[in-house]
Amino acid sequence: MLQTRPVLGDPKSYAFPKPRRLRVNNGTVVAIDAPGQLFASVRLVHPAGGGSEPLDRMGVAALTNEALEDGVQGNSSLAPALERHGAEWVSRVTWDSFVTGVDAPTNRLADATALLAEAVRTPALRDDDVVRRRDQILERFWLDASVPSTLATRAIGGQLFTGRYATPLSGAPVRLKDITPDAVRAFHAESIAGVAGTLVVVGDLSGVDLEELGARVFGDAAATPEVPRTAPESAPGELPRVLVIDRPDSVQSALIMAHRAPSRAEIDLPRADGVGDVLGGMFTSRLNLELRERLGYTYGAGCRFDLRRDSGVFLVSTQVERDTTAHSITATLGEIDKLRRDGVTEAELSAVRESNTVGLPVTYSTPRSLAAALVEIVVHDLPDDHVDRLRAGFEAITAEDLAEGAREYLRPEELVTIVAGDAKRLEGPLGELAIGPVTVRDPESLWS
């Protein structure tokens, strides 16, 4: 006999777990006890991201981060050591942070964290390992750049910024190949090994001694210094403008439209992300409905804000058939102008609220996702109740808030349009759009 379908109630408002903070030696432990989660996530956060690198050592952070995987004995020795404890290595570099860590069973957390401490504080960093890792990054750079969308995305920095942001995070081929093993060891000693950092721990922490974990990881390292950052200057050139990265005979175009945005601390995130959702952040967004559903030019179109401590980027991205490139650009500009002029509908407002609140219990259902939220809090100096404040902001957001956000954060007059495609077929139609001068570049000349 079929059962009657239960009546759905109103979703309950989500509350992010309150983290515990404790000072250990010269570092800070930030932890969330998640009862029943027997596979824990541990992250060590340093502020030595790519954005703070000197211009003569661009890419040293990314290279050092990868070289740590060779462990204290070199030659990729870390992974097998962690596997004996059912653990895995996690690491990444962003513009604002250098993150290392492990995911491990809670009953082996002390052993896995000890291996993390060794790998971070006393890695081998042998010459041959560093050179091998550098060569792998260089090879991967051009392999990834063979994908048009990746190539176009990597060109954003040089079109919007001067200084460090003008070169990709990895340092790009010309810069990275000059990074020596000595430079990696010097960066590691100064910015990683000798700096305590902040330790994030999430999982079922019953029986876990957080002070002992912190002491093992921090050792006698110095307190984390403030990293001075100032907003970078804009790249020279007329705005708006168009850059075509030539890919002869390509039948598709990878399209990026980007402009500078406020920093993470300066932006009103519910308004900015809400505007991004309406324009290109959901399947039912305006760009997707226009470029995919109505015009049939693409499989998907989206937009997002890339926010950093000292600046930010807003970008629209899609891939379209070559002969629809120019119209795809005008259609995108039309949707941006319409959103700035007319604001959002009630249905769009409801979708923004629900998409950013209803799914939070699932979003933060694992130690890894909770740890990622804590890392963001640490990197951007956010309050411990940041997630709850963000949720409340989305719950209270109004149509007028989003309309104001569209007028404030979408600036079509400052857009740089980057197209990776066949310049011979594209230069003429793009020049007729009156969206600024058109420049054609060979991919290999972008970072020379």
**46 and 135 co-located in one domain:** yes
Q: Is residue 196 one of the residues assigned to a domain?
A: yes
**189 and 272 co-located in one domain:** no
**27 and 159 co-located in one domain:** yes
> Which pLDDT belongs to residue 354?
95
Q: Is residue 404 one of the residues assigned to a domain?
A: yes
How distant is the alpha carbon of residue 200 from its chain centre? 18
**294 and 351 co-located in one domain:** yes
**273 and 357 co-located in one domain:** yes
Provide the domain limits for residue 171: 20-218
Q: Distances in Å between the alpha carbon of 93 and those of 64, 286, 388?
A: 9, 33, 26
Residues 6 or more apart from 29 whose CB is under 8 A from it? 20, 21, 22, 23, 198, 199, 200, 201, 210, 211, 213, 214
**35 and 143 co-located in one domain:** yes
Q: Is residue 295 one of the residues assigned to a domain?
A: yes
- Global confidence as pTM: 0.94
Q: Is residue 5 one of the residues assigned to a domain?
A: no
Average pLDDT along the chain, 448 residues, taken 10 residues at a time: 80 90 98 97 97 94 97 96 98 98 97 98 98 96 94 97 94 89 98 98 96 97 89 95 97 98 96 98 96 96 97 98 98 98 98 96 97 98 97 97 98 98 97 96 89
Q: Is residue 417 one of the residues assigned to a domain?
A: yes
202: three-class secondary structure by DSSP:
strand
**388 and 263 co-located in one domain:** yes
Nearest to 64 by CA among 173, 185, 196: 185
**178 and 245 co-located in one domain:** no
Q: Is residue 2 one of the residues assigned to a domain?
A: no
Give the domain-ending residue among 151, 184, 218: 218
Pairing state between β 416-421 and 198-203 = unpaired
Residue 400, token pair as written in the block: 């007028």
> Which pLDDT belongs to residue 229?
79
**205 and 255 co-located in one domain:** no
Give the domain-ending residue among 168, 186, 218: 218
Q: Is residue 236 one of the residues assigned to a domain?
A: no
Alpha helix stretches (DSSP H) within 172-323: 172-176, 181-187, 210-218, 269-276, 286-287
> Which pLDDT belongs to residue 1?
65
**198 and 282 co-located in one domain:** no
The tally of domains found in the chain comes to 2
Q: Is residue 181 one of the residues assigned to a domain?
A: yes
Give the domain-ending residue among 218, 251, 286: 218
**311 and 429 co-located in one domain:** yes
**280 and 320 co-located in one domain:** yes
> Which pLDDT belongs to residue 131?
97
Q: List, for residues 366-414, the tens digit of each pLDDT value.
A: 999 999 999 999 999 999 999 999 999 999 999 999 999 999 999 999 9
Q: List, for residues 32-86, the tens digit of each pLDDT value.
A: 999 999 999 999 999 999 999 999 999 999 999 999 999 999 999 999 999 999 9
CATH code assigned at 389: 3.30.830.10
